[in-house]
Amino acid sequence: MSIAEKFVSMEYGPAPEDSKEANLWLERHGRRFELFIGGAWHAPASGEYFDTLDPSNGEKLAEVAQGGVVDIDAAVRAARAASTEWQALTPHSRARYLYALARLVQKHSRLLAVLETMDNGKPIRESRDIDIPLVARHFYHHAGWAQLFEQEFPGYEPCGVVGQIIPWNFPLLMLAWKIAPALGTGNTVVLKPAEFTPLTALAFAELCQEAGLPAGVVNIVTGDGSTGEALVNHPDVDKIAFTGSTEVGRAIRSATAASHKRLSLELGGKSPFIIFEDADLDSAVEGLVDGIWFNQGQVCCAGSRLLMQESIADVLMSKIRDRMGSLRIGPPLDKAIDIGAIVARVQLDRIERMVAQGVAEGATCWQPQVVLPSRGFYFPPTLLSNVHPTSIVAQQEIFGPVLAAMTFRTPKEAVELANNTVYGLASCVWSENINVALHVAAQLKAGVVWVNCTNLFDAACGFGGYRESGYGREGGREGLLEYMEPSWFKHAPPLPSATLPTAQVEERLEASMPAIDRTVKLYIGGKQARPDSGYSMGVRSPDGRLLGEAPLGNRKDIRNAVEAARKAEAWAKATAHNRAQVLYYCAENLSQRQGEIVHRLAAVVGEKQAAAEVELGIERIFSYAAWADKFDGAVHNPPFRNIAIAMNEPIGTVGVICPADAPLLGFLSLVMPLISMGNTVIAIPSERYPLITGDLYQLFDTSDLPAGAINIVTGYASQLLKTLAEHDDIDGIWCYGDEATVAAAKAMSIGNLKQVWTNEGRAIDWFNTKLAEGRWYLEHATQVKNIWVPYGE
């Protein structure tokens, strides 16, 4: 076709990015890659390799080593061996290495972008303009944290050896999100790239060599799910960071339950995209393009559930269909392509199957007239309307370019629909009314809220989910905390195993006049309640004397307590000042009853400890009353014109297994930080002295604590823990006990992936104020929600 003809047709024509350099790079490696362990390349012990394909045409790009248990072991050893030297470096030295990595990513940016697109199928525009620049930005930002580590985190130390498993949707970006904070805080790393997309991680290994990174600080072991499993199960790994599916996240939680491995999980999502009638609709439609038609919709935070106000539904749907019609789908190396290839046949099959299922359930499917390339794995942009919350396409993650559209009537209903999901990763709110937008943002159960924008990411801002979207954050100060621990805690001694005193010869209380029986009950919804079981448990002094009887709570009592706690969620909305007032009042009332409580507690822990527990207990309550309005969030500084608010929000309803060694002070040390931050609590007091419940509820009843904010169920922790940990309406569990108890809490929490925080079976000195209270507890009592609010006129 001549130029004159093209002058008439005004078509785009092809604009291919040259893959020559990337292919040369592959050729230089003989299209075969080994494992990067201890700074050198090693053949896999199995001798096996697997193919990695170009999803845009199905052709083999290279073969990659299948790492196994032996290779993982070698990699973990290398990481462990490198750990001492790496930690011994000054923060400034580590900062220099990270800075070098950032520079190298920039210097080789085009090779990395082209490789990423070839291996993954994403449009070159995205890998070139989004993925790779964010990779460099992540290393720059964390070079800064490396530099500031000692100043900003005194008393903390790195976890040690970190196992990291990353997904295929943003291969190098997820590597950066994992490796940069790990190295910046002094950890060494074994990283397993996704099976479908290992190439850029291997190219990154070369950059590590070029940067002169000490051998073993970064190890890259390619392989499949079994390789990841070997990494998760390796006994010498201190932390696992995983990004991927919720199902695998569950398996990892379960597999690591009996270990001290720290865990951060970034899992699936079904993120709502809410458009109000007063939104800039054309811009909101572009937001959707960046939301669900970004990276072929293979984005954990994709705005896959469109919620639109009824009044604009028709107009909006028409605009969306028009816009879908101008999306260009085709070979991802073309610079003018919007939608590239789906990563693999199996993923394409899954998308096709789910869309078919959605249609079978009554959804209307609309796709623009597009011609898909004859080879490779492609799926057209898809709009499903007539979708209801009950539809599978509204509930389950499709991980494809498929938008499910629903309507709402009021802001209240928008929030209700948005939160009607087991996930809680991200969300979008479009409205030109800042009152509406922030009102809704505050109520969304999601780790990220984008107001009038979509899928903005930055190293300075935390990213991560609520609910079954995982726990922990990546990016920002909040993300860094995942890779370090307070030194005192890391080196705390194990909790000595304690046995409850057994009954001695039964003695009767001798008195001429019998004392009035003092019956302790459960405390549920602000009321004293008899246990469902109708049984009691004997409570004895260390020498076996019967001190009294506590109600024997069971699963129904837990159920009732959780319901009461849920109903008390207004506590979270109470002002921080108000919460502080209530806590101060608790302290005041505890002080009033000091004498009698010390007297009773002394029978269990002795006079001296009892006095200390009450005295320090008053102080502890004061501390958390003080903290209530001072544990501020932050305003991050991403390189955009916006306000990125990192808000500390309560986790929600939290179950607490209280420590046995300090029946009163241990209870207050855990429950008070939670309450101070606006959580509601179901506490199981120590079996050693559950009678403390009677003193506690008198305290709470007289202190204006709203009914249900704190609920106390006494009983055998081993039994109640199971119900608590398995309860799907509890958002978190704090379990303080011995190794076995803590492991059980973790293992049983996988149902709704509730956040688990434990003492790792270690002894905590509740009488040492420096260790037993403060920010570390508050950080666990809250989760960070990042709200992005662009501005400009």
Partner 1 sequence: MAVDHNHPNLARKSAADVASQEQPTSNTIAMLGERQLLSNSGIPLDLNWLQEVRVNTSAVERRAQTQVARRTVKKEWQAAWLLRAISCMDLTTLSGDDTDERVRRLCAKARHPIQQNLVQKLGIEELGLKVGAVCVYHTFIETALNALEGSGVRVAAVSTGFPAGLSPLAERVAEIRRSVEAGAHEIDVVITRAHVFGARWQALYDEVAAFRQACGAAHMKVILGAGDLLTLRNVARAGFVAMMAGADFIKTSTGKEPTNATLPVGLVMVRAIREYAQQTGMAVGFKPAGGIRTAKQSLDWLAMMKEELGDSWMRAELFRFGVSGLLGDIERQLEHYATGRYSAEYRHPIA
User: Please, what is the minimum distance in Å from the beta carbon of residue 587 to partner 1?
Assistant: 47
SS3 758: strand
Q: Are strands 364-366 and 382-385 parallel, antiparallel or unpaired?
A: antiparallel
When asked if residue 287 is in the footprint of partner 1 (CB under 8 A), the reply is yes
Among 69, 336, 359, 370, the residue binding partner 1 under the rule CB under 8 A is: 336
Residues 6+ apart with CB under 8 A from 223: 44, 65, 66, 67, 68, 71, 192, 195
Residues 430 and 287 sit within 8 Å (Cβ to Cβ): yes
Burial code of 574-590, b = ≥16 C-beta within 10 A, e = fewer?
bebeebbbbbbbbbebb
Residues 685 and 695 sit within 8 Å (Cβ to Cβ): no
Residues 304 and 270 sit within 8 Å (Cβ to Cβ): yes
Residues 692 and 667 sit within 8 Å (Cβ to Cβ): yes
Is 588 labeled as catalytic in the residue annotation?
Answer: no
When asked if residue 704 is in the footprint of partner 1 (CB under 8 A), the reply is no
Closest CA to 736 of 702, 770, 763, 700: 763
When asked if residue 154 is in the footprint of partner 1 (CB under 8 A), the reply is no
Choices 45-53, 149-157, 311-319, 506-514 (CB under 8 A): range interacting with partner 1: 311-319
Among 27, 210, 282, 607, the residue binding partner 1 under the rule CB under 8 A is: 282
| Phi, psi values for residue 10, rounded to 5° | 50, 45
User: Please, what is the minimum distance in Å from the beta carbon of residue 323 to partner 1?
Assistant: 9
- Cα 660 from Cα 690, distance rounded (Å): 10
Residues 39 and 216 sit within 8 Å (Cβ to Cβ): yes
Two tokens at 84? 């001492």
When asked if residue 369 is in the footprint of partner 1 (CB under 8 A), the reply is no
User: Please, what is the minimum distance in Å from the beta carbon of residue 290 to partner 1?
Assistant: 8
Nearer to partner 1, 275 or 699 (CB): 275
Nearer to partner 1, 346 or 434 (CB): 434
When asked if residue 641 is in the footprint of partner 1 (CB under 8 A), the reply is yes
SS3 239: strand
Nearer to partner 1, 12 or 535 (CB): 12
SS3 393: helix
When asked if residue 315 is in the footprint of partner 1 (CB under 8 A), the reply is yes
Is 658 labeled as catalytic in the residue annotation?
Answer: no
When asked if residue 312 is in the footprint of partner 1 (CB under 8 A), the reply is yes
| Phi, psi values for residue 670, rounded to 5° | -100, -40
Among 51, 286, 632, 728, the residue binding partner 1 under the rule CB under 8 A is: 286
When asked if residue 596 is in the footprint of partner 1 (CB under 8 A), the reply is no
User: Please, what is the minimum distance in Å from the beta carbon of residue 9 to partner 1?
Assistant: 8
Nearer to partner 1, 311 or 519 (CB): 311
- Cα 239 from Cα 263, distance rounded (Å): 6
When asked if residue 325 is in the footprint of partner 1 (CB under 8 A), the reply is yes
In the region spanning residues 8 to 27, those forming contacts with partner 1, defined by CB under 8 A, are 10-15
Choices 283-291, 364-372, 377-385, 557-565 (CB under 8 A): range interacting with partner 1: 283-291
Residues 6+ apart with CB under 8 A from 587: 618, 621, 622, 625
- Active-site entry in 266, 397, 474, 613: 266
State the burial class of residue 23 (Cβ atoms within 10 Å of its Cβ: 0-12, 13-18, 19+). Answer: middle
* String marking each residue 289-308 x if it binds partner 1 according to CB under 8 A: -x------------------
Which one-letter amino acid corresponds to residue 756? Answer: V
- Active-site entry in 159, 300, 301, 735: 300
Residues 6+ apart with CB under 8 A from 661: 495, 498, 686, 763, 766
Nearer to partner 1, 285 or 603 (CB): 285
Residues 418 and 271 sit within 8 Å (Cβ to Cβ): no
Nearer to partner 1, 125 or 234 (CB): 125
Number of residues that bind partner 1 (CB under 8 A): 43
Among 95, 105, 281, 384, the residue binding partner 1 under the rule CB under 8 A is: 281
Nearer to partner 1, 322 or 596 (CB): 322
Among 63, 206, 224, 278, the residue binding partner 1 under the rule CB under 8 A is: 278
Q: Please give the residue ranges that form the binding site for partner 1 (CB under 8 A).
A: 1-4, 6-7, 10-15, 125, 129, 278-284, 286-287, 290, 311-312, 314-315, 322, 325-326, 335-336, 338, 432, 452-453, 641-642, 790-793
| Residues annotated as catalytic (active site), given as ranges | 266, 300
